[in-house]
């Protein structure tokens, strides 16, 4: 069923999961892009109802405080856009209520990403896919988003046949509890005190864990081979869907590292034709919302400690991958604030793409 309801120029926006690591950033992103909201409704579990959150104002809405409400099926009456980041179970539970209320759900969870009737959108790459939603649009996984934003400008240079990517993912990818666990554990390890990991399978302080989300079996989406995690396979299937390209091959390894915020990625690309490193750097420098930060002689390259809080995707260490024949190989390093670029901000950019275009 095609969606026929027109989006008003000043929509009512709900944030479902407003007290979480991503939900809090969603409100800040609405403020920072000056989203023309008529009203913003903050929703969370009953535990958080009544909490107040400072609000800087946006559109015609004045600065002040917003009060968190308990999320129920009635919460979506009168809402035009519902930004969801409360986990896949909550998204599934409330999907029908959101659609019945006539709102568009922009969902940050993995619940609907690979559904055939749900567009999966990174606006710099495939904003045109907003045209065919049926009430739900999915926000991709954070590691996928920053990778495709960095690769999009390079697709004009030739077809990307193969991507080998290793991620260095921060603790905040596991939500507010992930950040708290890293901070708490770091102190305990240094003090020689005992602790029990809970947000992660192992100690995260002073460690790297090559395991994000669950290990999957072979019949998960598009026949994942044995031994991959769901986080890794999301990068494979989501990249193909966003690029509208089933032929691009993606070989990921996802690793949790003791960084509070910002994911990093080491990426090796194989093009179908020779590409010069100069052309790659020029394309990146001109890429939308991409910043080329690449001056190794002066120790300049992107790092997570530099870019927490930034909207952009930073690329450096751009160099030839000489293991690929005929000058078709390129290696690079990509850093972005995954709570913003990889989640909250991408959702808000999708919301902007839904507004009536001037």
Binding site for ligand A2P (CB under 6 A): 17-21, 23, 44-45, 47-48, 71, 86-87, 90, 175-177
The residue (of 17 and 329) whose beta carbon lies closer to ligand A2P is 17
In angstroms, give the least distance from the CB of 173 to ligand A2P. Answer: 10
Q: How far is the CB of 160 from ligand A2P (least distance, A)?
A: 32
Whether 263 is catalytic is yes
Q: Which of 29, 58, 254, 263 is catalytic?
A: 263
> If you write DSSP's letter for every residue of 165-211 in order, what string do you get?
EEEEE-GGGG-HHHHHHHHHHHHHHHHT------SSSS--TT--BS-
Return the C-alpha torsion angle 204, 207, 208, 210, nearest 10. Answer: -70
Q: 109 vs 162, 173, 245, 247, 317, CA distance in Å?
A: 26, 12, 22, 25, 31
Rounded to whole angstroms, the Cα distance separating 200 from 57 reads 36
In the bound state with ligand A2P, the residue whose beta carbon lies nearer, of 179 and 353, is: 179
Given the residues 142, 254, 262, 307, the one annotated as active site:
142
Contact 83, 57 (CB under 8 A): no
For residues 313 and 59, give the distance between their C-alpha atoms in angstroms, rounded to a whole number. 26
The least distance separating ligand A2P from the CB of residue 142, rounded to whole angstroms, comes to: 12
User: For residue 315, what are the β-bridge partners?
Assistant: 292, 334
Active site residue 142: yes
Nearer to ligand A2P, 171 or 242 (CB): 171
Answer yes or no: are the C-beta atoms of 267 and 165 closer than 8 Å: yes
The residue (of 45 and 134) whose beta carbon lies closer to ligand A2P is 45
- What is the token pair recorded at 37? 């909201």
Least gap, CB of 132 to ligand A2P (angstroms): 28
Q: Which residues are catalytic?
A: 142, 263
């Amino acid at each position: 069923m095609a969606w026929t309801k027109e989006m008003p120029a000043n929509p009512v926006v709900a944030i479902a999961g407003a007290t979480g690591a991503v939900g809090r950033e969603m409100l800040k992103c609405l403020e920072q892009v000056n989203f023309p909201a008529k009203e913003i409704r903050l929703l969370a579990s009953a535990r958080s109802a009544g909490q107040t959150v400072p609000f800087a104002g946006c559109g015609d809405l004045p600065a002040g405080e917003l009060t968190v409400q308990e999320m129920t099926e009635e919460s979506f009456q009168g809402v035009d856009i519902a930004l969801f980041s409360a986990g896949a179970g909550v998204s599934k539970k409330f999907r029908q209520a959101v659609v019945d209320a006539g709102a568009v759900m922009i969902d940050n969870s993995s619940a609907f990403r690979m559904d055939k009737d749900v567009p999966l959108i990174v606006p710099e790459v495939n904003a045109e896919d907003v045209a065919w939603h049926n009430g739900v649009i999915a926000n991709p996984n954070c590691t996928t988003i920053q990778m495709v934003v960095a690769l999009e400008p390079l697709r004009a240079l030739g077809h990307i046949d193969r991507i080998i990517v290793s991620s260095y993912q921060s603790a905040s990818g596991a939500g507010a509890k992930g950040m708290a666990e890293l901070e708490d554990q770091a102190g305990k390890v240094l003090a020689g005190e005992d602790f029990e990991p809970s947000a992660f399978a192992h100690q995260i302080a002073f460690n790297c864990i090559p395991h994000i989300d669950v290990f999957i079996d072979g019949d998960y989406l598009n026949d994942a081979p044995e031994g991959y995690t769901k986080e890794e396979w999301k990068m494979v299937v989501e990249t193909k869907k966003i690029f509208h390209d089933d032929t691009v091959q993606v070989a990921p390894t996802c690793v949790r590292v003791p960084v509070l915020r910002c994911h990093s990625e080491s990426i090796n690309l194989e093009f179908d034709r020779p590409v010069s490193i100069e052309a790659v750097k020029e394309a990146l420098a001109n890429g939308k919302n991409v910043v080329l930060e690449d001056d190794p002689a002066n120790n300049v390259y992107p790092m997570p400690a530099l870019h927490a809080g930034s909207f952009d995707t930073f690329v450096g260490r751009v160099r030839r991958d000489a293991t690929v024949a005929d000058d078709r190989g390129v290696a690079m390093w990509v850093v972005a604030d995954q709570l913003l670029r990889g989640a909250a901000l991408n959702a808000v950019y999708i919301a902007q793409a839904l507004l009536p275009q001037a």
